[in-house]
Amino acid sequence: MADDPYLWLEDITGEDALEWARAHNDATLAELGGERFEELRAEVLEVLDTDARIPYVGRRGDYLYNFWRDEANPRGLWRRTTLDSYRTDDPVWEVLIDVDELARAEDENWVWSSPEVIEPEHTLALISLSRGGADATVVREFDMRTKQFVEGGFELPEAKSSVSWEDEDTVLVCTDFGEGSMTESGYPRIAKRWRRGEPLENAETVFEAEPTDVRVIAGVDRTPGFEHTRLGRYTDFYNRIRYELRDGELILIDVPTDATTATHREWMLISLRTDWQVGDVTYTAGSLLATKFDDFLSGARDLTVVYEPDEHSCLSGASWTKDKLVLVTRRDVASHIEIVTPGSWERVDAPGIPPSDETVVVDTDPFGDEVFYDTSGFTTPSRLLHGTAGGALEQLKSAPSFFDADGINVAQYFATSADGTAIPYFVVGQRAEPSPTWLYGYGGFQNSLTPSYAGGLGRAWLTRGGTYVMANIRGGGEYGPRWHTQAMRENRHLVYEDFAAVAADLVRRGITTVEQLGASGGSNGGLLMGVMLTQYPELFGALVCSVPLLDMKRYHLLLAGASWMAEYGDPDNPADWVFMSKYSPYQNVSSDRRYPPILITTSTRDDRVHPGHARKMTAALEAAGHRVYYYENIEGGHGGAADNKQAAFKAALTYEFLWRMLGG
């Protein structure tokens, strides 16, 4: 579209664009609203708000901390308790921050973002709060002893900031310092040392990234005896140049720029995205290596392979306790937990973990040997386990069953993609005969989709006779970095061929029919839905596309879009646009093909993926004569919802749309 007739819809808060969005919201609710919609919303909200949920915690010093939302506290409570109290059925919680009360007192629509707590003292925190759920936040210093914000303390205005404690009176801060201080991707490019009582404009610059970089890196590890200050720059989404700051000197950490590193006490772990040759040895992509950090900085390359993947397995995560390393690995998506002893690097299976579809590490204590695990499955509610790494475990909490799982089966199948690759997917449902089926996918940024319990899905979809499918397509990380890297940029088509192969396989197996098959995805998964609509419309009966990228010709010019060019390509480069133009949904809308009905949702407050993508695609589809529904939440940021009520509304809209379109 050389002359884009819908460019005006990129005006995020322009009255014409907002009036357009409100009119579409009204039209969508007029058709999808009704008794069943309200029932679905109530069912989902009951799951989200119930006090029977597990209050997941993380240790900081003597306390376990939790952030909690429910019907009485829709914006949430930041609170803490002791382990002894947490073990009881009714823990005594000490509230530090009541976000609802704070929002009322300040007449602001605050949404909780995160706390940056000083370690190991746990006395002060830098609290990030956003307006309406945006990525941009304000930052305020909070005293965890007095439970009050610090008057005259560290405070930052709204920006996409990051902060890290150097000591109780000094922070490293990356924020919007004014003209020239942000990258083309909209993130900070300058790191400064800011001392208590000093005006922000007088803070000392310690490192600068380039304007063309994604963002600057600045972080501090305050572990006594093993203090580190890390500076650097993300040159693109996957590559970074890192330095250790010692006595005012920057020392290059000479690892592959696309590797991930983590230091713990005397050790450094290196996780490889691509093969790395060191001397005569080649370490394969997906491997986890360990070395003594100081020795490595001095030039030694004494590397130990802690984990090496194979064709069916990969590393999913690594978490430290004080004296142990906890590994989560996967084999054909199924999780497995191992405990590693540093030095010998001996790996043993973690004892005491019951069989389940999925086990994850909720939290570890880097100053002790405590670990929390969560185990669950598509039809098995979560159980929270607690103990020491490699020691005995106890079940601290269990979540209730939110739906009757009798007769609901879980099975894993493999579809064959166009290039012959086997693509795993899970099918959850009763499946006595072809039924309304909801296929979900993402396929990007090495994000893995894994089995988990979803009470709302069970109540609103599975027990009503629907089938749910989760596709583990390339672009994700279910088989490690190579599952992702082989589907980047010019090979992006593999993502879409994989998803289409799963859709066709569901029909071939008799699990569903084309008319009964719906699919959904958000963000990068929203792009996936846009491609399914414009390239594979004959495979689906309905699609749901949330907070999506869709105009790939202009995505890099909108908000954080430039940071994703390593994933998709640069549309201003003619060679890149050749392959991008073939799938970019907005540029490929056709009035000559039959499209399934589609629901497109976004948020006005999404400052990561511009709502203009969703708005413009909706307008183009309407102009081409297609059936499209649209809803734009004023709040919610990239998550699409700012509280549980909004999340339940958004979910119910999807459920009702799919039920109606798929004949449920």
Name the residues annotated as catalytic.
523, 638
Spatial separation of the C-alpha atoms in residues 158 and 128, rounded to whole Å: 9
Spatial separation of the C-alpha atoms in residues 395 and 387, rounded to whole Å: 9
Residue 133 CB contacts under 8 Å (≥ 6 apart), including other chains? 111, 603, 605, 635, 636, 637, 638, 639, 641, 642
* Short-list 318, 191, 207, CA closest to 263: 318
3-state DSSP call for residue 41? helix
Element (H, E) at 95: strand 94-98
Spatial separation of the C-alpha atoms in residues 77 and 91, rounded to whole Å: 15
Q: Please report the sign of the dihedral spanned by the C-alpha atoms of residue 200, residue 201, residue 205, residue 207.
A: positive
State both tokens at 624.
């081409």
* Short-list 132, 27, 229, 269, CA closest to 633: 132
Give, in order, the Cα–Cα distances in Å from 54 to each of 193, 352, 434.
39, 20, 35
State both tokens at 658.
């799919």
3-state DSSP call for residue 474? strand
**β-bridge mates for residue 131, sequence order:** 110
Spatial separation of the C-alpha atoms in residues 613 and 482, rounded to whole Å: 29
* Short-list 580, 517, 593, CA closest to 550: 580
State both tokens at 241.
């140049």
Spatial separation of the C-alpha atoms in residues 453 and 445, rounded to whole Å: 23
Phi, psi of 15 (to 5 degrees): -65, -35
**Amino acid, res. 313:** S
18 CB-contact burial (10 Å; exposed 0-12 / middle 13-18 / buried 19+): middle
Look up residue 188 and give its DSSP letter: B
User: Angle CA(370)–CA(376)–CA(378) in degrees, nearest 5?
Assistant: 160
Strands 249-252 and 240-246: antiparallel
**Amino acid, res. 395:** Q
**Amino acid, res. 575:** A
CB 400, CB 381: distance < 8 Å? yes
Strands 598-603 and 628-633: parallel
State both tokens at 490.
């010019």
Give, in order, the Cα–Cα distances in Å from 121 to each of 60, 84, 118, 150.
9, 21, 6, 17
Residue 288 CB contacts under 8 Å (≥ 6 apart), including other chains? 269, 270, 271, 272, 305, 306, 307, 308, 315, 318, 327
* Short-list 456, 414, 409, 413, CA closest to 432: 409
Strands 346-349 and 334-341: antiparallel
- What secondary structure, in 3-state letters, does 268-330 show? EEEECCCCEEECCEEECCCCEEEEEHHHHHCCCCCCEEEECCECCEEEEEEEECCCCEEEEEE
658 CB-contact burial (10 Å; exposed 0-12 / middle 13-18 / buried 19+): buried
Look up residue 408 and give its DSSP letter: -
Torsion on CA atoms 208, 211, 213, 217, rounded to nearest 10: 30
